[in-house]
Amino acid sequence: MVVAYDGAGYSGWQIQPSHKTVQGELERVLHELTGEKERIHCSGRTDAGVHAREQVTHFDLGRPVVLKKLLIGFNALLEKDVRVLSIRKARTDFHARFDAQGKEYRYFVWNDDILPPFLRHYRAHVRAPLNVKAMNSAAKRLVGRHDFAAFSANPHYERDGTVRHVRSLRVSRRGRDITIVARGDGFLYKMVRSLAGFLIRVGVGELKPEAAAEILGSKVRTARVPTAAPQGLFLWRVLYRPIRTA
């Protein structure tokens, strides 16, 4: 099941007691539609305030369902800030997280004195002029397979280690809109927001692009790498090998 959501009104993806979460809302509606209390697994959790253009999920049901009716039912019962884009059957051993081959995240920055109010949930706001050329110079130094412990918000609790392969990292500008696109085989906890925070510091001239290699090599998270605000982050797409239908 592919889901899109505006994360502004949610305490992230993962279900939490006494908090409104995307997973919690989807599971509530699934139970209402099917009578089955099943866990909905995602390709990767998103934090409070983070959005998803294409979050991939899976769940198991004990009885057959008409997929078209299930799709219509989800979108009729969910609030308008969450939408199920598609549902299809997959092989029984498919897992949204463990079968993912890679992800693309996009981080959006509004680079101007004033942030338009209708963008407040979808852009980080940076008033100082950003040097996109310097940001791209720093970004190139972070591409490849590295130990990204210095860019994880909690490196000591990464179950699969802190080595990741960033396939591409680039920065572009269109008017006052700046977009950071990160593609990789996977990302650590708050790693994309940490990469964005570092690149923004480079863009405003607080750090040189060459600092990227030094920070990577240190393998230690320090205040030199801030975690950028969640509002600008979108899970853009998840990459899989072709998913065989059941």
The CATH number of residue 48's host domain is: 3.30.70.580
Domain membership flag for residue 74:
yes
Contact 1, 87 (CB under 8 A): yes
* Structural domain that includes position 23: 2-98
Domain membership flag for residue 89:
yes
**Residues 138 and 209 grouped into a single domain:** yes
pLDDT per residue over 19-64, tens digit each?
999 999 999 999 999 999 999 999 999 999 999 999 999 999 999 9
Q: Residue 137's pLDDT band (boundaries 50, 70, 90)?
A: very high
**Residues 122 and 222 grouped into a single domain:** yes
pLDDT at 155: 67
**Residues 84 and 202 grouped into a single domain:** no
Contact 200, 109 (CB under 8 A): yes
Residues 6+ apart with CB under 8 A from 199: 135, 138, 139, 171, 180
Domain membership flag for residue 122:
yes
pLDDT at 153: 87
Domain membership flag for residue 243:
no
Give strand pairing partners of 28. Answer: none
Question: Residues of the chain with pLDDT > 90: what percent?
Answer: 93
**112 given a catalytic annotation:** no
Residue 77 scores a pLDDT above 80 = yes
Residue 246 scores a pLDDT above 80 = no
pLDDT at 245: 52
Domain boundary among 65, 98, 131: 98
d(CA 188, CA 104): 13
> Which token pair is 115?
């942030």
Number of domains in the chain: 2
**Residues 223 and 193 grouped into a single domain:** yes
**Residues 91 and 210 grouped into a single domain:** no
Burial of 157 (0-12, 13-18, 19+ CB in 10 A): exposed
List 6, 47, 93, 160, catalytic entry: 47
Domain CATH for 112: 3.30.70.660
d(CA 11, CA 236): 19
pLDDT at 156: 66
d(CA 126, CA 128): 6
d(CA 160, CA 51): 25
> Which token pair is 93?
């051993």
Residue 243 scores a pLDDT above 80 = no
**Residues 106 and 91 grouped into a single domain:** no
Domain membership flag for residue 109:
yes
Domain membership flag for residue 245:
no
**Residues 216 and 125 grouped into a single domain:** yes
**Residues 55 and 128 grouped into a single domain:** no
**Residues 191 and 109 grouped into a single domain:** yes
Q: Residue 160's pLDDT band (boundaries 50, 70, 90)?
A: confident
Contact 22, 7 (CB under 8 A): yes
Domain boundary among 78, 98, 118: 98
**Residues 206 and 135 grouped into a single domain:** yes
Helices in 20-66 by DSSP H: which ranges?
22-34
**Residues 11 and 93 grouped into a single domain:** yes
**Residues 90 and 110 grouped into a single domain:** no
What mean pLDDT value characterizes the chain?
A: 95
Domain membership flag for residue 244:
no
pLDDT at 42: 97
Domain boundary among 54, 81, 98: 98
Amino acid (1-letter code) at residue 67: L
**What secondary structure does DSSP assign to 162-224, as a single string?**
SEEEEEEEEEEEETTEEEEEEEES---TTHHHHHHHHHHHHHTTSS-TTHHHHHHHH----TT
pLDDT per residue over 182-234, tens digit each?
999 999 999 999 999 999 999 999 999 999 999 999 999 999 999 999 999 99
Q: Residue 244's pLDDT band (boundaries 50, 70, 90)?
A: low
